[in-house]
Structure 1
Amino acid sequence: MVPMVEAASLSRPARRGIQYLLSEGVQEMEAKVRDFMKLLQVDKRIGAADAQKAYTLLKLQFNWLLDSLDIFADVLSLRSEHHTGTWLAGMDVLAEDTLLLKGSYFKAPPLVTYLDRGHGAAIRRARTRLPGGKSNPVAVIRVPRERMISTGIASSLVHEVGHQGASLLGLIPSMRKVIQERVKMEPESATLWNWFDRWISEILSDFWSVAMIGIGSTTGLMNVVSVPSYFVFRLKPDDPHPPPWIRLRLSIAFGAVLFPDQQWERLRQLWDRLYPIKLAGPEKSRIFQHLDQLVPEFADLLVNHRPPSLKGKMLREVFPVEYRQPKRLRQLYQQWVKNPRDMKRYRPSIVFAAIGQARADQVISPRRENRHLRNMLTYWALKRVL
C-alpha cells in the first residue's frame, strides 16, 4: 500500500478495478508457475528446448504483469506527495465530471490522473488492452507537471478525457465517414479534407474540451502550442495532431459556434499577430490558407454531426453548452467574487469554465486564479471521501 491521506485516494470503482485486475493476474501467474514446475517434475522426457520455450513464455507473461503493475504504480506513488496527491484526486473528479453528457449513451469508466515529466499529456483508455492482453479497468490520464498552472490544468486534462469519450461514442469512424463523403462531393478539395480525416482523433478531443470548459480550453491550448514558428507550421503526414496554427483556428471555430461572442474574433486576431501566416513560407502559406477557409464549414459539420451512438441527436445537443455561455459564466464569476463559498455548489467543469472565462476577460489575476482552483481541487477530493 502507498501511504497517502484518504482524500488523495482513488475512487472506489477505480480501486476495485485495479485491485481485481492485479490480484487476478497474480493468481494466474502463480498457477502457471506451478504448472511449469509440475511439468519439469512429472515429465522427465521433456527436452531442454521445450522446457526453455515454456520458461521464456512464462517469463514474458511475468514481465507483462510487471508492466501492468508499473502503470498503476505511477498513478499511486504520486498520491503520497504533500498537496499533489489531493490535487490529483480533485482532478479525478474533474475528469469524471467532464465525461458526463446530457443523456445515457455509455457506461462511464473510472478515470484516474497522475503527473509526469515531459511536455505531452496522454491517456491509456479504459477497456483497451494492457500488456499481456487484459482489459484496462480504468482510464489513466497523464498530465505534464508544467500544465499544473491555472485553467491550463483543465485544458489538457479534458482533451484527454475527450479521447475516452470519443471512443465510447464511436465518433472517429462516424466522422471519418462524413469527411469521406465530402471528399466525394468536393473532389477539388479532397486533399484538404483528407488532412482533417488524418487529424480527426485529436480534433474531436479538442472539441470535447471546448464544449466542456469554453474559452479556457482554447487559451490553455494556445499556451501549449506556443512554440517556435517552425513547429507551429509544420505539416507531417504521419502526425495525428494538426499543426498548431490550424489546431488553434479549429478550437476558436468550435468556440464561436457553441458560445457566440466577440472574444473568439479577438483571439483569432491575436493568434494572427503572434504567428503571421507568412512565417510558413510561400508554399505552406497557400495550404494553410486553404485549410483555414474550410475551418468554418468543418466546425459546423462536426458540431452538428449526428453519430449513430447519439440516437439522432447532434453533438452540440448532448454537451451542456447552455451552461457555458460567456454571459452566464461572467455572471457566475461576479457572484463568486461576492460570495466565494458559493463556488462549491457547482460542478467542477462549470468552475473551471467560469474561472477560465474570467481569466480570458482579465478580471482575475493569475495568483487568485491559481488559489481558487487549488482550493477547489482540494475541496472536491475531500467531498468525495466524506
Structure 2
Amino acid sequence: MRAAADTRFLANEALALFSRLQTVRSFTLSTPMVLAAAVSAPAQAAINAHLAKVAFDLRRKLKSFIQWVNSPESQHLPAEKAQARFVLLKLRFNNLLDQVDIFSDVLNQRGEHGTGIWLAGLDVLADDALRLAGARYDAPPLICFLERGHGAAIRRARTRLPGGDENPVGVIQIPRERMVGSGIASSLIHEVGHQGSELLNLTTTIRAEIDRQVTAGGPNVLSWQLLSRWLNEILSDFWALGHLGIAATYGLMSVVSLPSYFVFRIGTDGPHPFPWIRVRISIALGEALYPHPQWRALARQWSGLYPTEGLPEAKQDLIEQLVNTLPDFARLVLNHRSPSLHRQRLADVFPVAERQPAQLRELYGEWQGRPSLCDESPPSLVFAVIGQARADGQITVGEEYRVLTRLLTRWALNRARTYGAELLPPAPRPKAQAGLDSASPHSLISRTHEPQTKH
C-alpha cells in the first residue's frame, strides 16, 4: 500500500508540471518581430500547430496521471512504480521545452533591427531554391537563422526532434559572418540541397549507380568508393551549382579556405570531402553543367592557392586519381534518372539553361538599364547574376552589398503583404464545447484551470 504522503507528493509534482505547461505560449503572442521579418505563414502555422499538439497531448496525460495517482486502484502499487510513471511525463515536458527553444532561437532573431528582415528575405531565397519546376514533391516550409561559427547546417523537416516528434519545418543555420554577400547563397542553398536531395531520395539512387562502378572494378575503384561515401555533401553542393552557377563554387572556396594542413587533411571515414578535392568536385560539376573556360581558370586559381607539390607521394597519387575520375562522375550525376525524377535527367530539373554564363552576363547588362527586371526575378537567379558579375569583376563588394540588402528587404516586404492578408481575423466559429480540447486564447494548451486533487 502506497503512503498517503507519496500520493500527495506525486500529485502535487504533476500539478506543478501542469502549471508550468500553461506558460508554453504560441509564438504569435511572444515573438518581437515586425511583420516583414516574420517567417512565412505556413511555417508559423506548422510550428504553432506542432507545439500545440504536443502540449495538448502532454496536458491530457498529466490530467490522466493525477486522476490515476489519486484513484483507489493505484494505491496498491509501490511508490517507485508511480514515480517511474511520473518521470516519463517530466521527460516529455523537457522534450517539449527543447523543441520550443529550437524554434525560439530562430524566431527571436527576427526582432534584431535589419537582421530580422534580411533573414525573412533569405527564407524567400530558400523557398525558391527548394521548389524545382521539374520535380514533384511536397516542399516543407523553411526558416533561417544566424549562428556564430564557420559553417552552415540544417535541421531537416520531417526528421526527429527531441522526444521523437517529427519536425514540421526545415531550420537552416547560416554563419553570421557571411551576411550579406553573394556567398551567403552558396551556404544557404547547399543546406536546402540536403532537404531537396532527401525528398528526391537522390543519395540512395545515385549511390546505387556508383556501386555498380565499384563492382565493375578498374584502376579508380578507391576514388568511386570515396565519392560514394561523400555523396550526400556533394549532391548538396550540386544543388547550389544548379541554381547559382559559378557563384556556388566561389562561395564554397570562401568557406573551405583554411590553413593548408586542413585543406589537404584526407579523412576517408567522414561525410565531407576534404576541402581541396571538394572544390575540384564543384568545379567539375560546374563545368559539366555550364561549359565555359572560366572553370579551368578557376581550377588553376585553386591549385595556385593550394599547390599539391610537396605533399607526400601517396597523397598526391590519391588526389590525381580522384581528379581523373571527376569527369566520369560528373556525367553520372548529371545524367542520373530515377523514379523520383520521373525519369528525367537530374540536370534537367534545375534551371540550368537560363543560368549559363552568357545568359547571366546578358541579364546583368539589362538590369543596369532596367532595375525593375532584377526586382521581379526569382531570388536564386538574382544571386546567380550578381555572383557571375562578382566573378567577372563587374560589381564591387560595396555595390553587391547594397543591391542584395535592398533585395532581401524587398522580398521580405513582398511576402509580408501576403502574410498580412493571411493574418486577417477569421470568420467567427461556433463556440467550442468545454472539454480537453477547448483552447485558451493565450496558451498552446487548453484552459487556465488546473485539475483538482485532494490534499
TM-score of Structure 1 vs Structure 2, range by shorter chain: over 0.9
For the 8 Å contact 2:284–2:327, the answer to whether it is kept is: yes
Deviation at 1:186, TM superposition (A): 2.3
Which residue in 1 is equivalent to 2:382?
351
Which residue in 2 is equivalent to 1:159?
190
2 CA distance for matches of 1:53 and 1:193? Answer: 51
2 CA distance for matches of 1:231 and 1:8? Answer: 38
Instruction: In structure 2, give the amino acid aligned to 1:224.
Output: V
2 CA distance for matches of 1:253 and 1:135? Answer: 37
2 CA distance for matches of 1:307 and 1:73? Answer: 38
Of the structure 1 ranges 208-217 and 24-33, higher mean CA displacement relative to structure 2 is found in 24-33
1:156-305 equivalences under 5 Å are 156-305=187-336
For the 8 Å contact 1:175–1:305, the answer to whether it is kept is: yes
Structure 2: stretches of 5+ with no match in the other structure: 1-29, 418-455
Kindly indicate whether residue 62 of structure 2 is the aligned counterpart of residue 39 of structure 1: no
Instruction: In structure 2, give the amino acid aligned to 1:57.
Output: L
**TM-score, with normalisation over the residues of structure 2?**
0.83
For the 8 Å contact 1:229–1:279, the answer to whether it is kept is: no
1 CA distance for matches of 2:170 and 2:84? Answer: 34
Deviations 1:278-319 (A, max 9, x none): 253222111111111101110111011112211111101111
For the 8 Å contact 2:134–2:348, the answer to whether it is kept is: no
For the 8 Å contact 1:40–1:46, the answer to whether it is kept is: no
RMSD: 1.1
Which residue in 2 is equivalent to 1:110?
141
2 CA distance for matches of 1:46 and 1:187? Answer: 68
Deviation at 1:100, TM superposition (A): 1.6
Kindly indicate whether residue 409 of structure 2 is the aligned counterpart of residue 374 of structure 1: no
Name which of 20, 32, 42 aligns with 1:3. Answer: 32
2 CA distance for matches of 1:245 and 1:123? Answer: 23
Q: Which has the higher helix share?
A: 1
Which residue in 2 is equivalent to 1:19?
48
Name which of 36, 42, 60 aligns with 2:91. Answer: 60
Instruction: In structure 2, give the amino acid aligned to 1:247.
Output: R
Percent identical: 50
2 CA distance for matches of 1:100 and 1:35? Answer: 44
Instruction: In structure 1, give the amino acid aligned to 2:388.
Output: Q
* Other structure's SS at 2:159 match: coil
Instruction: In structure 1, give the amino acid aligned to 2:64.
Output: D
Of the structure 1 ranges 363-372 and 302-311, higher mean CA displacement relative to structure 2 is found in 302-311
Deviation at 1:144, TM superposition (A): 1.0
Gap change, CA 1:225 and 1:279, over 3 Å in 2:
farther
Kindly indicate whether residue 76 of structure 2 is the aligned counterpart of residue 70 of structure 1: no
Deviation at 1:209, TM superposition (A): 0.3
Kindly indicate whether residue 340 of structure 2 is the aligned counterpart of residue 340 of structure 1: no
Deviation at 1:60, TM superposition (A): 1.3
Q: Name the larger-Rg structure.
A: 2
For the 8 Å contact 1:121–1:160, the answer to whether it is kept is: yes
Which residue in 1 is equivalent to 2:348?
317
Deviation at 1:207, TM superposition (A): 0.4
1 CA distance for matches of 2:393 and 2:372? Answer: 21
Aligned length: 386
Structure 1: stretches of 5+ with no match in the other structure: none
* Other structure's SS at 1:292 match: helix
Deviation at 1:137, TM superposition (A): 1.1
2 CA distance for matches of 1:364 and 1:384? Answer: 28
Deviations 1:314-337 (A, max 9, x none): 101111101101111101111122
1 CA distance for matches of 2:134 and 2:318? Answer: 40
For the 8 Å contact 2:220–2:325, the answer to whether it is kept is: no
2 CA distance for matches of 1:368 and 1:189? Answer: 45
Deviation at 1:190, TM superposition (A): 2.1
1 CA distance for matches of 2:172 and 2:410? Answer: 21
Deviation at 1:37, TM superposition (A): 1.6
Which residue in 2 is equivalent to 1:134?
165
Which residue in 1 is equivalent to 2:131?
100
1 CA distance for matches of 2:227 and 2:367? Answer: 40
Name which of 385, 396, 415 aligns with 1:365. Answer: 396
* Other structure's SS at 2:91 match: helix
2 CA distance for matches of 1:280 and 1:205? Answer: 29
**TM-score, with normalisation over the residues of structure 1?**
0.98
2 CA distance for matches of 1:103 and 1:165? Answer: 12
- Which structure has the higher relative contact order (CA within 8 Å, separation 6+)? 2
